[in-house]
Amino acid sequence: MADYSTKGSYVEGGKEFVRDTSYVTTRITRDGRDGFTPEAGRYRLVVARACPWAHRAVIARRLLGLEEAISMGMCGPTHDARSWTFDLDPGGRDPVLGYERLQEAYFALDPEYPKGITVPALVDTTTGKLVTNDYPQMTLDLSTEWVDLHREGAPDLYPEPLRDEIDAMARKNFTEVNNGVYRCGFAGSQQAYDAAYDRLFTRLDALEEHLSTRRYLVGDTITEADVRLFTTLVRFDAVYHGHFKCNRQKLTEFPALWAYTRDLFQTPGFGDTTDFVQIKEHYYVVHTDINPTQIVPKGPDVSGFLTPHGREELGGRPFGDGTPPGPPPAAEVVPAEHWVPQG
């Protein structure tokens, strides 16, 4: 069963996992340079709660208050070799696009689309065609190009004076952590795994030190850098520690990183968009090359995410001059037992 969160990526000569980072790079911008401008109701963000790359877009959309401007379609946590599917919807079809598979939006754009069918994806509802699946640029554009449709009090996740620092932090964390866990999990040789493992924990050690004296990664507010790191850290003990053999230590054994992740988890938009049930089902069921039995572990107990974190003592203002987002739309609420399972 192909993993469409990594399809297009490969293991070079049976050695090192290499992620394909070429995407459909069409952008939705205020100046319409690529033929698309922000427009309330025109686009549908297709995600899967299981996917860390899609989770970033879900968080950014919620923090910025774009729920009414950009509708959201939800794929199930597992899929077959062809595509992510809308099996969570009645009749197995997305109610807005009418598709059974996300693949249909890609093929509407290019009938011979050669790469992986990935989430997140922004689809033009007027044509049913994929606009972009360029997830790193997507969240930046939600912050900078959709400002006219942001909620009142939306935070600035990509403040101009800090962009170079945010970009540098995000790049380093992508290579060593976000993608680093995959390099461990899909390593094709012992040597490749050992190298990936060492790089991952070297960076986690550096982040532990960095976050021991500051509340957020860059500046004194939540930024794009925090959104990007969170979606890997929140999955670490549930899947990466065991499933991807990232087992030097658990997240809960890093005092600063664990407190930092709890701090974000307890911030509206982060924990309440996290679905541990779907996360575990995706990784343990889809990755049959790593887990051929498809058995999904019962643990770990993640109720600790709601314990006090004490990070307020470091100062910082989560939303800067803005305000927290309100409750999520009723149709997008993650069942409580999925994001804070008990025992």
Give the chain's domains with CATH numbers. Answer: 43-149 (3.40.30.10), 160-338 (1.20.1050.10)
* pTM of the predicted model over 0.75: yes
Out of 4, 182, 240, 283, the active site residue is 182
- Give the span between the Cα atoms of 291 and 286, in whole angstroms: 8
Yes or no: say if 203 and 246 are a contact pair by the CB < 8 Å rule: no
Out of 4, 23, 43, 51, the active site residue is 51
- Burial bucket for residue 195 (CB in 10 Å: 0-12, 13-18, 19+): middle
Yes or no: say if 19 and 182 are a contact pair by the CB < 8 Å rule: yes
Q: Does residue 246 carry a catalytic annotation?
A: no
- Residues lower than pLDDT 50 in the chain: 1-8, 10, 342-343
* Predicted pLDDT at 341: 54
Instruction: Please tell me what DSSP assigns to residue 328.
Output: P
What tens digit of pLDDT does each residue of 8-40 get? 454 555 567 776 767 999 999 999 999 999 999
* Cβ atoms within 10 Å, residue 80: 12
CB-side neighbour CA atoms (13 Å) of 161:
3
Structure tokens at 303: 């109720």
Q: Does residue 284 carry a catalytic annotation?
A: no
- Of the candidates 66, 127, 53, 140, the residue with the CA atom closest to the CA atom of residue 96: 127
What tens digit of pLDDT does each residue of 203-220 get? 999 999 999 999 999 999
With residue 176 as reference, give the H or E element that holds it. Answer: none
Yes or no: say if 187 and 11 are a contact pair by the CB < 8 Å rule: yes
Yes or no: say if 168 and 249 are a contact pair by the CB < 8 Å rule: no
Is 339 annotated to bind a ligand? Reply is: no
- Give the span between the Cα atoms of 115 and 303, in whole angstroms: 38
Yes or no: say if 137 and 301 are a contact pair by the CB < 8 Å rule: no
* Cβ atoms within 10 Å, residue 83: 23
